Chains A and B, each alone.
Chain A
């Protein structure tokens, strides 16, 4: 039998060329921000409690740094998933983020300029020949200020290879079962990081007080479920009918997705005729997240979480720790395996460096790890955070 082929030649037609944009119909509303942090399991009062937010340095509710993907029609993956790869599927492989300073607020608009960047093909143990494709998202606000840049990596592989990785095995198909007692103690563990947020409050976390080798407080959330993943899905604005001036050139079939995964998710014409057929929760390449049958079809054992959410969890973890006077400036995130239903997610980090950059900004570097309860690594990130320096 000949080795499976992954034909990526069509991708060359798109690299370096700006893509057709998509725009949100309405400006950001506070409820969009609140829904987002709730869905991302990020209970930072700055982003959902109006009184706390009014007392902050911002004087009003603001979006978290993780918010730009909410304003995109593909959570950043459009420029990293363009060009035909026949009979393929895709997973999120990682994101590199740069944050430039502006904070997003209600009433604002976000414009995302998207440019496919590059790709390479490697053999992976899970899926055989696999394309790692990257694309850039430049998120601007209505004043033309660059808010963030996201360089997204898609993992594109043969659907048959994904399905084969799950066939003949029922391993991982069942959610782990948690006893009531285990769930109770999990609540205590989850709350410790929230307590850290409360303790920091509006205070600065000074650069001076952070030491190399220090561990950040552990953050735990979950267990994940179809309910929590659906909640995440619905907090991405593009997933609601009529929210988005959608691309008119998105053709899921032309990207190479296979039959049952090639539904007309986000088709702007069909959305006005029969929008039920454009809802990615049920139709199209994303349906495997919420329906185990389709998860197994593409190589996942059961309902699985969103790569874009993992990116947000990493940003929120670092920026929540930094507090409202600090911010994440750069983060290179690798997604190793997704969160699965029934699993919990555990984030930890270690400070690896402190320095003052050429612009005089006081920075700390950290290595972040995200695992599940079995110790499997879901993601890693090398993150640089700017902190305020203690007044002399």
Chain B
């Protein structure tokens, strides 16, 4: 018998603002430091007090990717409303618009979330719902920081568990020599950051066809994925006043539903609210549960991939430029033991209606085997000489 895949409940939510969760504390400098550290993004602007003090900002600022660290669901909230019975979720992609204001220590960030749309297509998981929702990140002055249009991929739990590739259960093993080579390759991009320093990357100096410096990081591990997880503010007890969200009502199976982020359980048996160990996110860090949802071993976070894209491009742009728009399609997650390799190519130069000088790129994220993890495009605003 074919299991029903009924998405009609989603219609009840589209276009309607959702309940909000609120940060209980303003952003702290160390929240920003933990974030860039967890995201493998060693831009001194975001963790070193001296370098940040000498920058055009005069103090520590958050990277553009930081907005998502302030949300209670990596931006997936408005892309995962409405019941699909017996379903699981993966992150499908993100589209980001950045409006200019940066997040600073002391700021309070609010996320106004509105479910956007959905479509059902046939994929390797059978019938699959691609659902989108908007996250509008605003600071305490009412200034729009960014909009994230998140795509969730929702599919039948039974389809996921059946498609695990056992050949991928084991992590690749790296020799000490290979690790040393990774370290050297990883440092090349960091060196690019250091060489650029506080200087401008001029729009004038960039040509169509230019390739951005390769960025490599990893190998990923349970330790590094846990470090990522703990950098999202929502994953700390009491850091957020959570909305009441019934995961079983979304159609997650009982064993994956758990009490993750449940505000009532937070005050009772708090352990059960920690998504590292209980609920739908635990498969990231525990292979046993990863395999129950179609992943061969511990796997990375979609939201982190989105941040890696933003950081890669804004790190290249330097402190006088910024990413203004990006599209990222997540093809497959980082797995433990894998390294991540980012590249990009300049496809166009333009001046927009507001007179901003933009560089258009297509970007790519792969692992060491050339398996595509993420593809997309972006527009980066750079300063113009003269």
Contact = CB atoms under 8 A, between A and B. Distances in A.
B230 interface: yes
Interface in B215-260: 217, 221-224, 226-227, 230, 233, 236-239
Contacts, number: 138
A139 B30 CA distance: 21
B335 to A, nearest CB: 15
The residue in B42, B44, B48, B277 that gathers the most chain A C-beta atoms within 10 A of its C-beta is B42
Contacts of A187: 269, 271-272
Nearest to A194: B269
Contact of A241 (B24, B37, B272): B37
The residue in A48, A52, A242, A273 that gathers the most chain B C-beta atoms within 10 A of its C-beta is A242
Interface stretch (B82-90, B186-194, B205-213): B186-194
Q: For the complex, would chain A's binding face be called helix, strand, loop or mixed by DSSP majority?
A: helix
B36 interface: yes
A26 B30 contact: yes
Contacts of B44: 272
Contacts of A30: 24-25
Contacts of A373: none
Contact of A31 (B47, B190, B239): B239
Contacts of B183: 276-277
Contacts of A35: 230, 236
A234 B227 contact: yes
Given A241-B42, A291-B223, A231 B33 contact: no
Interface string A17-44: 0000000011001111011011001010
A50 B238 contact: yes
A346 B226 CA distance: 24
Interface residues of B, number: 47
Interface string B10-36: 000000000000001100111101101
Interface in B25-75: 25, 28-31, 33-34, 36-37, 40, 42, 44, 47-49, 51
A243 interface: yes
Contact of B238 (A34, A190, A273): A34
A279 interface: yes
Given A240-B33, A242-B33, A279-B37, A227 B226 contact: yes
Given A35-B236, A227-B285, A29 B30 contact: yes
Interface of A: 25-26, 29-32, 34-35, 37-38, 41, 43, 45, 48-50, 52, 187, 190-191, 194, 198, 221, 225-228, 230-231, 234-235, 237, 240-243, 271-277, 279, 281-282, 290-291
